[in-house]
Amino acid sequence: MHYDTAFTPLPAKAGRWYTHLYVQVLTAIAAGVALGHFYPASGEAMKPLGDAFIKAVKMVIAPVIFLTITTGISSMRDLGAVGRVAAKAFAYFFFFSTLALILGMIVADVVQPGAGFNIDPHTLDAGKVAEFAKKAHETTVTGFLLGVIPDTFLSAIVDGNILQVLFVAILFGIALSLVGARGEPVLDLLDGVSIAFFRLVAIVMKAAPIGAFGAMAFTIGKYGVASLSHLAALVATFYLTSALFVIVILGVVAKLAGFSIFRLIGYLKAELLLVLGTSSSESALPALIEKMEAAGCPKTIVGLVVPTGYSFNLDGTNIYMTLAALFIAQACNVHLTLGQQALLLVIAMLSSKGAAGVTGAGFITLAATLAIVPTVPVAGMALILGVDRFMSECRSLTNFIGNAVACVVVSRWEGSLNHAHLDAALAGRAVAVEHLSRDTVGAE
């Protein structure tokens, strides 16, 4: 039995340069920056365009994840492989998330971006970060675990909670697989629905340049490029550290897995520009699922690794947490011993997992971490509130690339990566993936 995939990953023939999505998004970002800089009020007024696009994308995320995971798992004959893939994915997430935290801490100790500020914590306006601190306080490990289970089967998809969608999709996929031949009509139906949803994603993505324009115009209009100058050392350090993580660490991982990190970035350039323009990696989640399948990663692995990685494999967010925490300590002249930094690292590891799936996770998890480490004043977060939006873009980009790499690596560990499709996709050649046998999904 065969099914049609719901996307065309690369055009059959190259069109005019201005028809490419990445060119349109890049142009829209430049126009947004110009409008926000020269006409700040008009730039701020463009916010609804960005919000509307992100809402439109979020509208299809839950169904896409549910359909991808359910059809992928139910197509597998060996359910033990599902657990094996999940175990390998979480091992990868834990190792590299921890490595990102350590890297942020090392760079902060070496560069000392907060040194010389000499800020008195008592003079800071703690009210500005009170809302984030409140959300952080409300996020507990028990609450997080219970929150994974939705109130009803349908409420997970209706509410759009990624972790809840993962939970019900995995359970339903396993159940459908256990049904056997009687479940084939349901599987055929879900395959057909997935085609329609991915076509819907393609329609929504046509509005990506408008969304990127609105989001970027608002960011520059509200905060202004000049606001970066006051905290330029922190922003520059964070961007350079993230680039170091992607190019060196993930670059080595990619090399060992048999592909180039630069070619992968080039393959995902349209999605990365979209993430940059909207400051949200969720805006490109459906497209990432499509492209990783087109690059030779099995549907089952993509369905498990990508959505789960969006909650647990946040490399950019982890770099930001330790770097920002030490910046605040340095700016407030708080000296942290090696033991205190080790404690901060452990707490950051736990809080980054506990707030998985929480909106604004970067700032909230930082608040949660500092709330437990009394040595560093939570009020110090007011120092970085003004430039957090600019760092959010880098966090999202790093998270996005990290999850793409994870998807390829886990596929290779499973011996399920189609190297011919990967090489063709990264080289910019069209890949014929219209008809994949369910029996060969996951086979190399």
Q: What is the DSSP string of 97-140?
A: HHHHHHHHHHHHHHH-TTTT----GGGS-GGGGHHHHHHHHH--
| Average pLDDT along the chain | 80
Band (4; pLDDT cuts 50, 70, 90): very low
Q: Which residue has the higher pLDDT, 172 or 358?
A: 172
Q: What is the pLDDT of residues 245-257, one digit of tens each?
A: 999 999 999 999 9
Band (359; pLDDT cuts 50, 70, 90): very low
Rounded CA Rg of the chain: 22
Q: What is the pLDDT of residue 92?
A: 95
pLDDT at 259 over 90: yes
Q: What is the pLDDT of residues 181-218, one digit of tens each?
A: 888 888 889 888 988 888 888 888 888 889 889 888 88
pLDDT at 121 over 90: no
Band (439; pLDDT cuts 50, 70, 90): very low
The closest alpha carbon to 392, from 216, 260, 270, belongs to 216
* Structural domain span for residue 139: 2-440
Band (310; pLDDT cuts 50, 70, 90): confident
Q: Residue range 375-385: average pLDDT?
A: 77
Task: Please report, for residues 59, 161, 162, 170, the alpha-carbon distance to residue 147 in angstroms, rounded to integers and kept in the order given.
Answer: 20, 9, 11, 16
d(CA 427, CA 419): 12
* Cα four-point dihedral sign 5, 10, 11, 17: positive
Q: What is the pLDDT of residue 246?
A: 96
d(CA 93, CA 102): 14
Q: What is the pLDDT of residue 397?
A: 92
pLDDT at 407 over 90: yes
d(CA 71, CA 300): 8
pLDDT at 160 over 90: no
pLDDT at 443 over 50: no
Q: With beta carbons less than 8 A apart as the criterion, state whether 165 and 67 touch.
A: no
CATH of the domain at 240: 1.10.3860.10
Q: What is the pLDDT of residue 326?
A: 92
Question: pTM here?
Answer: 0.77
Q: What is the pLDDT of residue 253?
A: 96
d(CA 213, CA 36): 10
| Residue % of the chain over a pLDDT of 90 | 25
Q: What is the pLDDT of residues 10-48, one digit of tens each?
A: 444 456 766 777 788 889 888 988 998 899 899 889 989
Q: Which residue has the higher pLDDT, 439 or 408?
A: 408
Q: How many domains does the chain have?
A: 1
d(CA 161, CA 169): 12
Q: What is the pLDDT of residues 59-77, one digit of tens each?
A: 888 888 888 888 877 776 6
Q: Residue range 138-162: average pLDDT?
A: 76
Q: What is the pLDDT of residue 433?
A: 46
Band (436; pLDDT cuts 50, 70, 90): very low
